[in-house]
Amino acid sequence: MIRTRRPLVGTIGRICPHPCEDRCFRGIDGEPISINGCKRYLADMRAMRLEKGYEPPSPPPALDDGPKVAIIGAGPAGL
């Protein structure tokens, strides 16, 4: 589910400064949940499963014949 909404979850889980964790009240004993750590773990587990052949690769995305859009800038926000 995370991968369908965020295709670069492994990368974002490593480079995001995780400001959301500063406001998290769901952790044990007042500690925030490590959202980035969870994202990294899920991405790493999926990569391991794909590498070992436990999980078939995702199907290629469907072609979209809709209007074309240009994104200026090549940073993470542009992806």
DSSP state of 8: T
Mean pLDDT of 17-30: 74
32, amino acid identity: P
- Would you kindly state where each structural domain of the chain is located, as residue ranges? 1-54
Q: Give pTM, 2 decimals.
A: 0.55
**Rounded Cα distance, 57 and 79, in Å:** 21
**Rounded Cα distance, 21 and 24, in Å:** 5
Higher pLDDT, 2 or 9: 9
Confidence band of 70 (pLDDT split at 50, 70, 90): confident
Q: 55 in helix, strand or coil?
A: coil
DSSP state of 53: T
Place of tokens 């369908």: 4
**Nearest to residue 42, comparing CAs of 17, 18, 12?**
12
Q: What are phi and psi of 24, to 5 degrees?
A: -80, 130
